[in-house]
Amino acid sequence: MEHQHHQHGQAATPPAKAHEHGKQVPSAGGHADHAAHDHSAMIADFLQRFWVCLALTVPVVAISPMFQHAVGYSFDFSGRNWVSFALGTIIFVYGGKPFLTGLVDELRRRSPGMMTLIGVAISVAYLYSTAVVFGLVAGMDFYWELATLIVIMLLGHWLEMKSVAGASKALELIVKMLPAEAHMYHGEMLHDMRVDELKIGDLVLVKPGEKIPVDGTVTEGESLVDESMLTGESVPVNKSVGSKIIAGALNGEGSLKAVVDKTGKESYLNKVIALVQEAQASKSQTQHLADRAARWLTFISIGVGVLTLAVWLAKGQGLAFALERMVTVMVTSCPHALGVAIPLVVAISTAMSARRGLLIRNRTAFENARKITAMVFDKTGTLTQGKFGVSRVEPMDGSRSADDLLALAAALEQHSEHPIAKGIVRAANEKYLALPPVLDFSSMTGRGIQGKVSGKTVSVVSPFALMERNITQPTNAVGNETETVVFILENNKLAGFIALADKIRPDAKAAVEDLKKQGIKVFMATGDNERVGKAVSDALGLDGYYAEVLPHEKVDVVKSLQKKGEFVAMTGDGVNDAPALAQADVGIAVGSGTDIAAETADIILTESRPSDVLGLVNFGKATYRKMVQNLLWATGYNVFAIPLAAGVLYPTFTLSPALGAVLMSVSTVVVALNAQLLRREMGMT
């Protein structure tokens, strides 16, 4: 039996890396709203610059001799050059400001990139055209190319920022799930209080149809609660006295009174937000690859641009033509699409997964889900329901009745959150048994629990611990293959045993079959006895199982599979399974409600459904596939675009700077739209 999961008095909490280095977890109305406001203001600013520059670009293009010649009309007037200069200067300064500011910032950080290329391109175009107007060089200005280039760049950036805002919207929805106020009791009177002013121990009322304001425990009432946006559980969960409720869940038709257990940053929802933000901010190996590619593309663009200028000048072309080719190369080959290819997919997939009850701590591990060849499951609460029901209570002599033995075991087990412990306590509560007080309580990892009751040392232990103490296991304790047995000792003497039965989860068999169809071998590592382990393995059709395994021995299970060349994912409860989760190539921690896993897990599933593990694998594959598609597109189009921009087809075809900007912007939009398709592929809108 899996008593090694006992970690009494130790609550599992999610990592708080987002709190480091001055970062803070946003709450409703907090930093997230401020950040969203800043981002919205930036989007609005780009759109405003676009419309102003577009209005000024129309006359600049209309009076350009080059454009007039291309279209076939003639229109000239005295001072035309000065009008072009004035309008071009306004467009360059006002419309080009974001790019020029970005250029300075990138050079200051010694990290030239997209803004450097755009900034250099528009600066060269403007300075050359201005030199022509003032008679410093002979030739023709190209203010109209400069104007159209800036207008298209502004539009492209606006479209990109809108896409990023759309990708982040899911996270904003999570933030908004937490209501701003709660109905708090002052004695018998109800008062509306700000949620951030509530304290642990306060009593609140949740009315029908309202969002639950805090993490707490129900003290009165009963209702069905929709937790789908938090845990991915589509079926409403019944909540009654003693049930845990989560802030942000939607209450059904009943009223609930609840005592506040957690507030502010400690609440489940805020921890989810912190994990999502941490994952979105972190970079995986794929992102680092994209960053390196973007940096190299920047250097290549600058190099090819300068080379293009030199080659055309050497061929006898004028400075204006050579400069135009250089500007077109730099604009067309901007690593804009490459810069958003991965972050957009990351933002979308991370927020989507959080809404499904899948929290990503390690992005590389998430993307590596596609490599998994062996999946090791813990048994209790993962492959099985973890809701143990007491099937037998057997005292060893006539000194204690069955109810006395059950009450004795429940007195110790009430300190534990393990499914077996809950089953024993639930059975005692159903019989309204009085539980004796316990002193000097302690947990024996992988073996059981112990404490003082009425001056005697009482232990509730596993069969393995019984063997260690050289105590013979009663023959009638073997039971049937579905039972798990714990033994009660008084002063190291066997007082009796309690048998409990657990059921396999309804979705476990289908999940195992689907994993195996994908070529993944499925194993189980359990602290339960050989008989129970074999029964579950046979029922699910597993590729193998490891029974009577202590927590530290699960590491050996993972290592043995890795030595055979398997890419191993370990799925456990994240507390006692921490060493195995850390050893695995992908560590998946499962929990229920607010019981979130230990820091060693790469990925956290808020529910304990095997189908969620399957969903994680499929989601990881789809996300990686989108990243690769975006990378191929963002880099591949340059193979054709850069030679065209350099003028390899001249005079048959010449790519103008404006058309080059259109191509670059289109590539960015394609990447953004492709990232958004991840929602459709994973069945979410």
What pLDDT, in 10s, does the model give residues 221-260?
999 888 765 654 545 788 999 988 988 888 988 899 999 9
pLDDT tens digit sequence for 327-350: 888 777 776 677 667 777 877 777
Decide: 438 and 409 in contact? Cβ < 8 Å: no
Domain of residue 596, residue span: 358-384+504-606
115 in the same domain as 62: yes
| Number of Cβ within a 10 Å radius of residue 148 | 25
- The verdict on 127 and 139 lying in the same domain is yes
CATH value at residue 220: 2.70.150.10
* CATH number (domain holding residue 574): 3.40.50.1000
Burial (CB count within 10 angstroms: exposed 0-12, middle 13-18, buried 19+), residue 69: exposed
| 208 found inside a domain | yes
Which of 201, 233, 266 delimits the end of a domain?
Answer: 266
The answer as to whether 207 is a domain residue is yes
| 491, 393: one domain | yes
Residue 533 has pLDDT above 70, yes or no: yes
pLDDT band at 284 (very low <50, low <70, confident <90, very high): low
Looking at the domain assignment, is residue 3 inside a domain?
no
Residues 58 and 166 in one domain: yes
The CATH number given to whatever domain includes residue 432 is: 3.40.1110.10
| Active site amino acids | 378
**% of the chain beyond a pLDDT of 90:** 22
Q: pLDDT tens-digit profile of 662-671?
A: 777 677 778 8
Q: Which two tokens stand for residue 404?
A: 């006395």
**Residue 5 banded pLDDT, cuts 50, 70, 90:** very low
659, part of any domain: yes
Both 254 and 399 in one domain: the answer is no
Give the H or E element holding residue 206.
Answer: strand 203-206
403 and 551, same structural domain?
A: no
> What mean pLDDT comes out for the span 304-315?
91
Let me know whether 363 and 405 are in one domain.
no
Residues 163 and 297 both lie in one domain: yes
| pLDDT tens figures, 111-158 | 777 677 778 878 887 888 888 888 776 666 778 778 887 887 787 678
In a domain, 244, yes or no: yes
Q: Which of 15-24, 353-362, 610-619, 634-643 has the lowest mean pLDDT?
A: 15-24
Can you tell me the distance from the alpha carbon of 495 to that of 453, in angstroms, rounded to the nearest whole number? 14
Asked, for residue 139, whether it belongs to a domain, the answer is yes
Instruction: Choose the final residue of a domain: 213, 241, 266.
Output: 266
Same domain, 552 and 643: no
Tell whether the model's pLDDT for residue 273 goes beyond 70.
no
Domain count for the chain, please give it.
4
Considering the domain architecture, whether residues 76 and 144 belong to the same structural domain is answered as: yes
Largest CA distance in the chain: 118
Give SS3 for 523: strand
Same domain, 363 and 410: no
pLDDT of residue 173: 52
Domain boundary among 606, 635, 666: 606
Asked whether residue 224 falls in the same domain as residue 85, the answer is no
> Which candidate, 417, 356, 280, 244, places its Cα nearest to that of 606?
356
Share of the chain above pLDDT 70, in %: 79
Whole-angstrom distance, CA of residue 160 vs CA of residue 341: 11
**22's torsion region: left (phi>0), alpha (psi -120 to 50) or beta?**
left
Domain assignment present for residue 497? The answer is yes
Given this model, what pLDDT does residue 111 score? 77
Q: CA-to-CA distance for 327 and 657, rounded, in angstroms?
A: 6
User: Which helix (H) or strand (E) is 486 found in, with range?
Assistant: strand 483-490
Is the residue at 428 inside a domain? yes
